[in-house]
Amino acid sequence: MEFSVKSGSPEKQRSACIVVGVYEPRRLSGIAEQLDKISEGYISNLLRRGDLEGKPGQMLLLHHVPNVLSERVLLVGCGKERELDERQYKQIITKTINTLNETGSMEAVCFLTELHVKGRDTYWKVREALETTQNSLYSFDVLKTRKGETRRPLRKLVFNVPTRRELTVGERAIEHGLAISSGMRLCRDVANMPPNICNPAYLASQARQLAEIHESLTVSTIGEEQMAKLEMNSYLAVGRGSHNESVMTIMEYNGSAKGNDKPIVLIGKGLTFDSGGISLKPGEAMDEMKYDMGGAAGVIGTMKALCEMKLPINVIGILAGCENMPSSNAYRPGDILTTMSGQTVEVLNTDAEGRLVLCDVLTYVERFDPELVVDTATLTGACVVALGKYASGLFSAHNPLAHELLNAGEQSGDRAWRMPLWDEYQELLESPFADMTNLGGRAGGSITAACFLSRFAKKYHWAHLDVAGTAWNSGVNKGSTGRPVPLLTQFLINRAGVEQGEKSA
């Protein structure tokens, strides 16, 4: 798919299709008015006859509009002008792209990026349109023997900006949007892969393939033998019941011109399948537990976006690959594990395994003397109960870092919501036999899980993203969402100080 930006009036566009907006009730946008004027009222006459009301997502495809050079004009309902917000904008773009793709318009000039969206500038509108386009056209059919193919798919999309002065901003939005979309695609491809293919070694192989393309990225791995020498006993215990070896993959990106810049560390929980272990999960929807590596998929996707943008920053991405299976060698409820940090943990439930993997990784990354650490994990069903599928749970005791991540979520549309991390919740992890348990009970489950992790992240600024509700969709449209790649990438863009769009009006 090819994307570009230009600035020009609609009557001068010679394309397979021009896309313009119509507001409710039957009110032409500024661009649509220009087309109506040169077509001598052709469009407004159609609206008066009731062909299009302008409700959000309504579509009317016109052929051979008088005096218009383009073959087709697609009128897109945008709702009430003053109510057009970012959510509705993305829905409109999605419906527009699907319509173009289904009607054989192989190229189009889109003027929807000139619509006024509350609090959003040209950079955001162009980038969001590109990312939404790529997301809506995504499909995972690599394992299908019969692939559904669109006869004349959309291949080229031009986003129009109001003035030539904004072309630079638009081009930057294209560059960033392409990189983030590329990262999201990798995230989704890896996460959607079945667990008989995507195991911890597969995660490592995907990272190595990325390093072969980008010189700024180096990859190394730590297997079970080296983990044992490092005394990562908690991590090892979780994978003990699986035939597939646990593998921790370390991706080091060096983009800073200063050799002594401390790295930002991103850690992704990579449970390539989580059966629950001895504390076996219910059978219903257990197939979706292949998505328990959504955190690792998010990190590898973010690292790809980072490499493609060539951000001037140092970042280390860790894929904590593991598989949690029941067997005669599996760890059990009642076991007491000595973590890499030396702290001991009483296992109450083997299905609270992600924190047992992450705690050793949080200790391991101390050796990098990091600027900060962010872990991302499909950690708790409790977070899904609390926030549903729209917001990731954010936990951090460091206010500046929490605010940076929240802001990146708002900027990218990949939002998070800050949850408490108070000392009172720590009491729920007390054990009569060890330093702590791995389970704090049903009440506040996502919070006590984060409290558990916080005990291993004392030596640096740290934040935890629980993406259990946002990393994938269930049901008919089951599949990875590509989150939290937009949030994490936006966070890195901000950290790198890279210029983006003009200030929002």
Provide the CATH number for the domain around residue 307: 3.40.630.10
One domain, residues 93 and 213: no
Q: What is the mean pLDDT of residues 154-179?
A: 95
Q: What is the pLDDT of residue 11?
A: 78
pLDDT at 504 over 60: no
Total number of domains constituting the chain:
2
Question: Is 274 annotated as ligand-binding?
Answer: yes
Ranking 57-71, 109-123, 141-155, 349-363 by mean pLDDT, the lowest is 141-155
One domain, residues 207 and 352: yes
Q: What is the pLDDT of residue 12?
A: 78
Exposed, middle or buried: residue 294 (CB in 10 Å: 0-12, 13-18, 19+)? Answer: buried
Q: Which of 163, 197, 217 is the last residue of a domain?
A: 163
Q: What is the mean pLDDT of residues 201-205?
A: 98
More confident residue, 9 or 156: 156
One domain, residues 330 and 455: yes
Pairing of β 462-466 and β 392-395: antiparallel
Does 124 reside within a domain?
yes
Q: What is the pLDDT of residue 153?
A: 85
Give whichever of 156-160, 475-479, 501-505 has the largest mean pLDDT.
Answer: 156-160
Exposed, middle or buried: residue 286 (CB in 10 Å: 0-12, 13-18, 19+)? Answer: middle
Question: Is 269 annotated as ligand-binding?
Answer: yes
Q: What is the pLDDT of residue 505?
A: 32
Measured between alpha carbons, how far is residue 347 from residues 230, 278, 331, 344 in Å?
A: 21, 11, 9, 10
Do 139 and 82 touch, CB atoms closer than 8 A? no
pLDDT at 483 over 80: yes
Element (H or E) spanning 238, and its range?
A: helix 233-239
Q: Which residues contact 3 (CB under 8 A, 6 or more apart)?
A: 130, 133, 156, 157, 158, 159, 174, 177, 178
The three-state secondary structure class of 385 is helix
One domain, residues 118 and 225: no
Report phi then psi at 56, rounded to 5.
-55, 125
| C-alpha 69: how far from chain center | 39
Tokens 């889109």 label which residue? 110
pLDDT at 332 over 50: yes
Q: What is the mean pLDDT of residues 432-456?
A: 97
pLDDT at 502 over 60: no
One domain, residues 111 and 187: no
The token pair that represents 281 in the structure block: 């999960």
Q: What is the pLDDT of residue 149?
A: 73
Question: Is 351 annotated as ligand-binding?
Answer: yes
Q: In the 8-state DSSP scheme, what is residue 105?
A: -
Q: What is the mean pLDDT of residues 404-408?
A: 98
Pairing of β 314-324 and β 264-274: parallel
% of the chain with per-residue pLDDT over 90: 90
pLDDT at 159 over 50: yes
d(CA 20, CA 37): 14
One domain, residues 136 and 267: no
Q: What is the mean pLDDT of residues 211-229?
A: 98
Q: What is the mean pLDDT of residues 391-406?
A: 98
Does 333 reside within a domain?
yes
Q: What is the pLDDT of residue 285?
A: 94
Does 426 reside within a domain?
yes
pLDDT at 138 over 50: yes
Mean per-residue pLDDT over the chain, rounded: 95
Question: Is 33 annotated as ligand-binding?
Answer: no
Neighbours of 499 (CB within 10 A): 10
Q: What is the pLDDT of residue 501?
A: 61
One domain, residues 429 and 344: yes
Report the CATH number at residue 57: 3.40.220.10
Report phi then psi at 306, rounded to 5.
-60, -45
d(CA 457, CA 442): 24
Q: What is the mean pLDDT of residues 130-146?
A: 94
* Catalytic site positions: 281, 355
Q: Which domain holds residue 284?
A: 179-496
Ranking 8-22, 281-295, 440-454 by mean pLDDT, the lowest is 8-22
One domain, residues 335 and 452: yes
Residue 503: pLDDT band with limits 50, 70, 90: very low
One domain, residues 137 and 183: no
Q: Report cis status (omega within 30 of 0) of the bond before 484.
A: yes
Q: What is the pTM of this model?
A: 0.96
* Residues 43-70: tens digit of each pLDDT: 999 999 999 999 999 999 999 999 998 9
Torsion 199-201-203-205 (CA) sign? negative
143-173 exposure pattern, b = at least 16 Cβ within 10 A, e = fewer = eeeeeeeeeeebeebbbbbeeeebeebbebb
d(CA 114, CA 29): 9
